Structure 1
Amino acid sequence: MEAFLYLDLTAAVAYRKALPEQVQQQHPAVAVLDIDATSGELVLHYALRLLRESEKAVVYIKADAAVTGIGAILPLLEELFQSPGNSLILLEGEHPRLLRMLQARPQVQFAQIEEENALGEVRQFLYKEA
């Protein structure tokens, strides 16, 4: 199973997000989950389970420096840090703390990206030959 996890860590949370919908339309076999900084414990538990059970996962993090509380997603990040190779983190926006965490782990695949380039990166990572 492949997974796409969209984490919205911005102050202005929108109900509908184009990128998760586009991933779902173009890649119907990919499990898509959209969460934000205010998601409850049950949703975060499901996201963690999705990461653990997927063969490959792309985690798209939309962040801004105004949102400093990322404690709720730390278990997700720890899972990603422990499973290098089968996951890719795409970071949109400026979040110095999160960027430092990613840069300090050379085994983690991550890239800073703009949303309009995300679909190509998702496709390339999920469907490249192992």
Structure 2
Amino acid sequence: MTAFVYLNLTEEAPFTYQKPLLTWVKNQFPEVVTFDLDAASDPMLQSHAQRLLQESRFCLLFLKTGQKRTLGSEMKLLDVLFRKQTGAAVANWGQHPALQTVLQARPSIEFAQGATPEDLYPFLASFLGNSLKTNDVQM
């Protein structure tokens, strides 16, 4: 299984029905399990996101961080990725120096950062496409 978890950590209104990035992932990679939440999501949703990342063979955590400077609620999800030996990636939409520093010390986790979601589409397409091909080969 390949999982895509979208976590919005910005101060903007967290509840929107349409997220173009999630729609793009679902259209391009319908086999990928998607899940989205924000920093204000209740603990049950955060726990579900953690289990999804743990149980998936390949997982991509997409963070929308804006100008965030410290690590907070995303650490629980990052901790799951730190325990994986392979098959984990993080894409960050925004500037997050602390996150960049932490992930540079984790070469087993693929990492990309962009100013817009469109900047990250090639990274997302490569990681998700390759993970689905690998899943197909293993079955």
| Shorter-chain TM band | 0.7 to 0.9
**Is residue 49 from structure 1 mapped to residue 51 from structure 2 by the alignment?**
yes
Structure 1 counterpart SS, 2:120:
helix
Query: Does structure 2 retain, via aligned residues, the 8 Å contact 1:3–1:56?
Result: yes
Stretches of structure 1 lacking an aligned partner (at least 5 in a row): none
Shift of 1:95: 1.7
1:17-96 map, 5 Å: 17-66=19-68, 68=70, 70-96=71-97
* Secondary structure, counterpart of 1:71 in structure 2: coil
Q: Residue 9 of structure 1 aligns with which residue?
A: 9
Calculate the aligned-residue CA RMSD, in Å.
Answer: 1.9
- AA paired with 1:26? Q
State percent identity of aligned pairs.
35
The alpha carbon displacement at 1:24 in A equals: 1.2
**Counterpart for residue 137 of structure 2:** none
> What TM-score, normalized to structure 2?
0.81
**1:35, CA displacement in angstroms?**
1.0
How many residues are treated as equivalent by the alignment? 129
Alignment partners' CA distance in 1, 2:107 and 2:28? 31
Q: Which ranges of 4 or more aligned residues in structure 1 deviate by more than 4 Å?
A: none
> Aligned equivalents of 2:84 and 2:31: distance in 1?
22
Q: Runs of 5+ in structure 2 lacking a partner? A: 135-139
8 A Cα contact 1:64 1:93, kept in partner: yes
Provide the residue aligned with 2:125 in structure 1.
123
Cα deviation digits, residues 57-84 of structure 1 (max 9, x gap) = 111111023474x432222111111114
- Counterparts of 1:71 and 1:59, CA distance in 2: 15
Structure 1 length-normalised TM: 0.86
> Greater CA deviation, 120-129 or 79-88?
120-129
